[in-house]
Amino acid sequence: MRFSIESPTTRITLAAGITSLIGPTCAVLPYTNYPPVFPSSPLAVVWLLATIGAIGVGIGVFAFCKGSKIAGTVCFLTNIPVFAYYGFIAYFFAMGGSR
């Protein structure tokens, strides 16, 4: 059997593999003193990171359901902490929480 990039399962596996790296990488950027995208509004950065985590979780579930069991599981498990952490912070401050 030849490896073909035109295979739908291969494309989903590649997308899940790339997404499993992007979510955690973006999540640690604020802790490395990397310049934020929106310096005037740190809450916007938190919402952006929560959205990246949610998209990563969605891609992981989609890949798992479409046949890429390992890549989908890895993508889901690496992005769920990103979504949980930044989603909680975003929701906490959106509901009126303060430091």
User: What's residue 59's pLDDT?
Assistant: 93
Provide mean pLDDT across the span 26-36: 78
Of residues 42 and 22, more confidence is placed in: 22
In whole angstroms, what separates CA 56 from the centre of its chain? 4
pLDDT value at residue 83:
95
pLDDT in tens, 78-89: 999 999 999 999
Q: Residue 1's pLDDT is what?
A: 53
